[in-house]
């Protein structure tokens, strides 16, 4: 199991070396261009060109040294004589504080220190034959795919959107529950992939399902998530009043509006207190729903200044959920 973690670290180190190598090649191209310019330059023009040439040569030298350092680090990952020295070496790599490298190193250290039962559980999750569901395959990718383990969230966001856009997937309760369960995974990349996917799945459910009771439950989930990616979805819920069906007192389905869902979204956006949240609240001051109007105006009266961050920590909104 640790071998997989070390391969991810090596990939990250080799990727850094490749990036620096491309800078080295680009500097070489600039030197070639300066060489061509010097052939036609006057004495007055030549001196600044030669100064730039010297700087680029120094830069190339530094880049060559840096490439070798990254390559040496990658080779050293596999050459440590024992777990103690490997752990110390990995901790040393954390001091590099590189956004591409750090997540892979932290995961490798986690695997080194994880108890046997946890490693066994992770190993079972890594086995392709054990992954029979679409949700399971997505989580497996979050554990092993290099792009999805970068510090840049882009690959995880794209994977979440692609997954949620599969026909019918957001309406499969078991799939949604499987993804939601992964939010508690100790692996930070798996956890974030799960959160982003849950946001996309519940976006579909709260915006497009005719059953407003289920849509209401989805907005409650979105309101409970402590991730900024939930904000634009809450904005979309707030800005889009719609009709659907809810269960009446006699158990029959009756036509209703998504008033409850919109109110949850509004209150949570006030808590998020970000600039996009304030803009959304400002827009609904003249909404057709008088409760929405009253709440929005009151929030803007209480907080007229710039909104720059959450008012309090994340959490569900019990008073609204009970309505």
Evaluate whether residue 128 is within a structural domain.
no
Last residue of a domain, which of 113, 141, 159?
113
Q: Is 134 exposed, middle or buried (0-12, 13-18, 19+ CB in 10 A)?
A: middle
Buried b (16+ CB within 10 A) or exposed e, 201-225: bbbbbbbebeebebbbbbbbbbbeb
Predicted pLDDT at 19: 84
Sign of CA dihedral 32, 36, 39, 43: negative
d(CA 154, CA 92): 27
| Alpha carbon 8 to chain centroid, angstroms | 18
> What's the whole-number average pLDDT of the chain?
86
Evaluate whether residue 181 is within a structural domain.
no
Of the candidates 61, 68, 18, the residue with the CA atom closest to the CA atom of residue 53: 61
Helices (H), 78-94: 83-94
Evaluate whether residue 235 is within a structural domain.
yes
Evaluate whether residue 215 is within a structural domain.
yes
| Alpha carbon 192 to chain centroid, angstroms | 6
Task: Give me the residues of the chain with pLDDT under 70, please.
Answer: 1-4, 114-132, 312-323
Predicted pLDDT at 135: 92
Domain coverage including residue 237: 209-323
Q: How many CB atoms lie within 10 A of CB 92?
A: 12
With a CB cutoff of 8 Å and minimum separation 6, the contacts of 297 are: 285
Digit-coded pLDDT (tens) for 54-92: 999 998 889 888 888 888 888 888 788 888 888 888 888
Is the separation of the CB atoms in 234 and 265 below 8 Å? yes
Evaluate whether residue 90 is within a structural domain.
yes
Total domains, the chain: 2
Check residue 247 and report its DSSP letter.
Answer: E
Predicted pLDDT at 278: 96
Q: Is 152 exposed, middle or buried (0-12, 13-18, 19+ CB in 10 A)?
A: exposed
Torsional class of 127: left (φ above 0), alpha (ψ -120 to 50), beta (otherwise):
beta
Last residue of a domain, which of 113, 141, 171?
113
The structure tokens 């010097």 sit at 38
Evaluate whether residue 232 is within a structural domain.
yes
Terminal-residue alpha carbon distance, the chain: 48
d(CA 272, CA 217): 19
Evaluate whether residue 174 is within a structural domain.
no
d(CA 273, CA 286): 20
Last residue of a domain, which of 93, 113, 133?
113
Residues 217 and 323 in one domain: yes
Give me 95's structure tokens. 């001091």
With a CB cutoff of 8 Å and minimum separation 6, the contacts of 61 are: none
d(CA 285, CA 7): 54
d(CA 215, CA 43): 75
Evaluate whether residue 199 is within a structural domain.
no
Sign of CA dihedral 152, 194, 188, 125: negative
Check residue 245 and report its DSSP letter.
Answer: E
User: pTM for the full model?
Assistant: 0.60
């Amino acid at each position: 199991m640790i071998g997989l973690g070390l391969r991810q670290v090596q990939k990250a180190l080799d990727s850094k070396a490749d990036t620096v190598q491309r800078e080295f090649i680009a500097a070489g191209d600039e030197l070639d261009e300066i060489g061509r310019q010097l052939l036609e330059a006057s004495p007055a023009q030549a001196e600044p060109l030669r100064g730039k040439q010297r700087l680029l040569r120094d830069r190339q030298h530094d880049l060559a040294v840096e490439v070798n350092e990254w390559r040496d680090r990658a080779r050293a990952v596999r050459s440590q004589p024992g777990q103690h020295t490997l752990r110390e070496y990995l901790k040393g790599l954390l001091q590099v504080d590189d956004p591409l490298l750090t997540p892979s190193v932290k995961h490798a250290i986690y695997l080194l220190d994880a108890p046997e039962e946890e490693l066994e559980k992770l190993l079972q999750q890594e086995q392709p034959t054990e992954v029979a569901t679409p949700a399971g395959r997505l989580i497996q990718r979050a554990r092993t795919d290099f792009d999805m383990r970068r510090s840049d969230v882009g690959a995880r966001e794209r994977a979440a959107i692609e997954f949620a856009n599969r026909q019918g997937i957001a309406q499969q309760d078991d799939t949604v529950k499987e993804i939601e369960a992964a939010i508690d995974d100790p692996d930070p990349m798996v956890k974030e992939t799960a959160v982003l996917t849950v946001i996309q799945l519940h976006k579909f459910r709260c915006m497009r399902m005719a059953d407003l009771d289920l849509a209401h439950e989805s907005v409650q989930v979105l309101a409970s998530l402590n991730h900024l990616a939930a904000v634009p979805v809450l904005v979309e819920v707030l800005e889009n009043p719609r009709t659907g069906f809810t269960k009446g007192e006699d158990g029959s389905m009756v036509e209703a509006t998504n008033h409850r869902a919109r109110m949850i979204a509004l209150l949570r956006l006030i808590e998020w207190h970000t600039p996009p949240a304030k803009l959304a609240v400002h827009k609904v001051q003249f909404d057709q729903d008088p409760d929405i109007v009253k709440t929005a105006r009151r929030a803007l009266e209480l907080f007229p200044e710039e909104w720059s961050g959450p008012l309090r920590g994340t959490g569900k909104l019990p008073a609204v959920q009970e309505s």
